[in-house]
Chains A and B, each alone.
Chain A
Amino acid sequence: MSYATLTQKRPLPLNLLISLFIILWVVLAAFPFFWTVWGSFKVEPDFFSRESWWNAIFGTYTQAQTGGTFTGDGYYGAWVTREFWRAVMNTAIVTVSVTVISLTLGTLGGYALARSGQRYAFWILIAALVFRAMPHITLVSGYLLPFFQLNIWGVLPTSIIVLVAINQPFTLWMLHSFFLSIPKDLDESAMVDGCTRFQAFRMVIIPVMWPGVVTTGLFSFLLAYNDFATTSMLLSADNQTMVPKISSFLGSVQEAGNVMYAVAAVVSATVPLFILVLFFQRQIVSGLTAGAVKG
């Protein structure tokens, strides 16, 4: 608080500089998204215009080709013609399952790690840290052969389990540090009051842990949602989720002159993230810093 009050006495030029810088950054951060959203309602010669980007703003060619300044052709092409909705469904299945399973395993494990002072608990955390740093694609190269042989390649459940596992190290670390912030007194008094360890966890700790679980869940969701390396290698073409679908889109639509399908698909995939940040900004920020404070 006092920091805020004492920095208010700033000279005008400095204030101007600060405002200018912030405006610049916000434009840098947000403009690409707005531009692409706007452009996704235009036709290709407008959005990708060599003549002048004013075309994209006024929709010159869009007007000429479709009769209106905005068009939903890109979306129709992507969602209906190219069946992007299937990918959306798959993404929904994958992300929801990954988040739920990750959290279930992660809360149990994170709780155990936070409450055990044993040496092996420490080693598990360190191993998790190394696993967390591993590029996912290196693991993928280990999955393919065994999955081919077991004949479980290409289907959603396999990807879900793999994503859950890849997610575990991060989930464990994050929940572990949230659990550490809950006083030990709480589970101990529950156990003295007559609970087993698991009852104490379920009846006393979890109700208090909700904020931490929600925050961690957000990041699990993001990991599953944003994944490209794993899902693009492990899912067959029929079962693709949004991100690999867009990538495989890209090659084929460019040849067919339907880049706008890809643009529309990209915008569609961005919308859920927008909503997520809109509603969970506070949790995301607290999640990022929770990790940081605990180092």
Chain B
Amino acid sequence: MAQIRLKNVSKRWNNFVGVDNFNLDIADQEFLVLLGPSGCGKTTTMRMIAGLEDITEGEIWIGDRLVNKLEPKDRDISMVFQSYGLYPNMTVYENIRFPLKVRKVPQDQHHERVMAASKMVELDDFLQRRPAALSGGQRQRVALARAIVREPNAFLMDEPLSNLDAKLRVSTRAQIKNLHHTLKRTTIYVTHDQIEAMTLADRVVVMSKGLIQQVGTPMEIYDRPANTFVASFIGSPAMNLVHGNIADGVFTGDKIRIEGLSKATNGAVTLGFRAEDATLAEGQGQIEAPIYSVELLGEATMISMRVAGELVSIKVGKDYRAEIGDSAKFNVPPAACHLFDRTSGARIVAD
């Protein structure tokens, strides 16, 4: 049973700040995803929890133990590495068994537990091979099996899917989700892929430049991004962000004019809306601009156009036909619009 608590955790190298004043409580059995672009401090945060990186400031608690000074082996966690960290000189069986061996788990339990773990990740047929003779997906599953064989307090996973091809990624993702459901362990998962974050997480922590940008369920983060960074990081395509001015509930910018917004704010703002929220307009449109590109996605068509200097994406029906250069008109329902402060990028709460 392990909650993990990070209190004012910071990591600095000389003048470089890796993680700045990180505060978070992770509930027992929660699946928490740390999401952010590379260099945002998410991996560093996880490595501090694992004990692979010193903590410059702050406290980390696992369960009711302060673990700041504990060696990785004494924290009772297991970890799946980005490049798996399999022991090339050992067979799959020996790899999975290694944690039991070095932790002096009684010999007679080894075989049973290794077999149980390998069954869970469907590795039974490969136990006598060495990692070099396995495919990427199989290696990945060895790493998973090695992590679960010991039933630790918490699982840490550092971009475990990033070395797999797209198809395998989807199936392994499902497998990880299922394992979490079966084993019911606190899991911390680091990724830069927002789709992984959305599909796997109970809660997502979006990070940038060492700071937490937003913590919330996937839906909260998608529906109410706390700032322009989160807005532009989540969703595919990312939220359209257009600079303009708002006065009296009317947003205006180059080739765009939207009425009926909140009257609480006036002045320079950034307006955000998602590609799928825009609708084709009959007659007068709120957005009116020449088409820059047309991409057929199969289930829909994505068109883009230049609005207020930014390239804006809009999702339309799959039967929509237009040529590059044609003028197109769209409406965006005011309820689907998000307003952000132009300078700080923070969400403007309308009420």
Whether A and B touch directly in their complex, counting CB atoms under 8 A apart, is answered as yes
Q: Which residues of A contact B (CB under 8 A)?
A: 183, 185-186, 188-196, 199, 203-204, 207-208
Q: How many A-B residue pairs have CB under 8 A?
A: 65
Asked if B102 contacts A189 (CB within 8 A), the reply is no
Chain B contacts for A185, CB-based, 8 A: 81-85
The one of B81, B98, B102, B146 in contact with A188, judged by C-beta atoms closer than 8 angstroms, is B81
Q: Contact at B52–A191, with CB atoms within 8 Å? A: yes
Q: Contacts A185-B81, A185-B82, A185-B84 hold; do A196 and B71 have CB atoms under 8 A apart?
A: yes
Closest A residue to B80 by CB, please name it: A189
How far is B89's CA from A190's CA once the two chains are assembled, in angstroms? 13
**With A199-B102, A203-B102 as given contacts, are A192 and B78 in contact (CB-CB < 8 Å)?**
yes
Residues of A within 8 A of B84 (CB): 185, 189
Docked CA distance A30–B150 (Å): 60
Best-surrounded residue of A185, A188, A194, A199 (most CB of chain B within 10 A): A194
Instruction: Tell me how far the C-beta of B191 lies from the nearest C-beta in chain A, rounded to whole angstroms.
Output: 17
Which residue, of B82, B84, B98, B156, has the highest number of chain A Cβ atoms within 10 A? B98
- A208 with B89, Cβ < 8 A, contacts A192-B73, A192-B77 known: yes
Residue B85 contacts which of A188, A195, A196, A207 (CB distance < 8 angstroms)? A188
Tell me the bound Cα distance from A193 to B94 in angstroms: 13
Question: A residues within 8 A CB of B98?
Answer: 190, 193
The chain B residue with its CB closest to the CB of A193 is B99
Per a CB cutoff under 8 Å, which of B72, B83, B89 touches A192? B72
- Extra A-B contacts (7), CB below 8 Å, given A183-B85, A193-B146: A189-B146, A190-B102, A191-B73, A193-B73, A193-B150, A196-B71, A207-B89
Q: Are B88 and A189 in contact (CB under 8 A)?
A: no
* Chain A residues near B103 (CB-CB < 8 A): 193-194
- CB of B79 within 8 Å of the partner chain: yes
Q: How far is the CB of A209 from chain B (nearest CB, A)?
A: 10
Collect the chain A residues with CB atoms within 8 Å of residue B99's CB: 193-194
A-B contacts, 13 of them at CB < 8 A, read: A188-B79, A189-B86, A190-B102, A191-B73, A192-B72, A193-B103, A193-B146, A194-B102, A194-B103, A199-B102, A207-B87, A208-B87, A208-B89
Nearest chain A CB to B130 CB, angstrom units: 12
Whether A208 pairs with B88 at a CB distance below 8 angstroms is yes
Indicate if the CB atoms of A195 and B102 lie closer than 8 Å: yes
**Distance between B139 CB and nearest chain A CB, rounded to angstroms:** 12
Residues on A with C-beta less than 8 A from B77 are 192
The answer to whether B50 has its CB under 8 Å from any CB of chain A is: yes
**How far is the CB of B51 from the nearest CB of chain A, in Å?**
8
The answer to whether A183 and B83 touch across the interface, beta carbons within 8 angstroms, is: yes
| Cα distance A186–B146 in the bound complex, in angstroms | 13
Contact residues in B for A207 (Cβ distance below 8 Å): 87, 89
A194 smallest CB distance to B (angstroms): 4
Contact in complex: A193, B78 (CB < 8 Å): yes
Near A by CB (< 8 A), chain B positions 82-132 give: 82-89, 98-99, 102-103
Give Cα A185–Cα B146 distance, bound, in whole angstroms: 14
- Listed from nearest, the 8 A-B pairs whose CB atoms lie closest are A189-B85, A185-B85, A193-B99, A194-B103, A207-B89, A194-B102, A191-B72, A185-B81
* Selected contact of B73 from candidates A186, A196, A203, CB within 8 Å: A196
Residues of A near B72 (CB, < 8 A) are 188, 191-192
**Which residues of the other chain, B, contact A196 by a CB distance below 8 angstroms?**
71, 73
* 1/0 contact string of B46-68 vs chain A (CB within 8 Å): 00001110000000000000000
- Residue of B at shortest CB range from A210? B89
Instruction: Please give me the residue from chain A that is nearest to B75 by CB atom.
Output: A192
